[in-house]
A and B are shown apart, each in its own frame.
Chain A
Amino acid sequence: GIQVEQSPPDLILQEGANSTLRCNFSDSVNNLQWFHQNPWGQLINLFYIPSGTKQNGRLSATTVATERYSLLYISSSQTTDSGVYFCAVATQGGSEKLVFGKGTKLTVNP
């Protein structure tokens, strides 16, 4: 099956800093989503982005499908950005086929 690798596994930032999280995948995908799991365990969908670039406030994501990677940018980080960021991909079908990466744990210190 498809392999999903996220890097870095852990990231510690000071409030206000910018960061880039990376998701590499081993096969062509038709579905790629980014999620944020906050320290209370809630999983929030950030982007549906199998290709191209999207922005939502301080967050943006870019997927280069031909090169099999996606990037999540967080600008001017805040303590509320802390948590684990998951990338999930599928090579066919819908969300039932999503394979989740192990995540990047982000800690933003005040």
Chain B
Amino acid sequence: QLVESGGGLVQPGGSLRLSCAASGFTFSTYWMGWVRQAPGKGLEWVANIKQDGGEKYYVDSVEGRFTISRDNAKNSLYLQMNSLGVEDTAVYYCARSQLLAYDVFNMWGQGTMVTVSS
């Protein structure tokens, strides 16, 4: 399973670090990603990271502000979010990619809410 944490209320321009704890599968063998959903809106892919952390991909809107990382020894995925804006308000889901860098997400966490507001 995947369990996210670290969400909360942050002021515009602030930073937040999300975590995702993985269990029940061999975390180090999967591409992992973050997908977000603004309140009442659809799904938006945010970032993906390769098994060894050597490749990372981001949606244009977060490039340069967000950093995805992982610690395979701790079975954990992270998302460091800087320069947050109100448009980043969303539920952030940690998700496991089936096989490829871009693939169906076949396992999802329950999500953690990030609210950017003054």
Partners in one complex: no
Give the B-binding residues of A (Cβ under 8 A): none
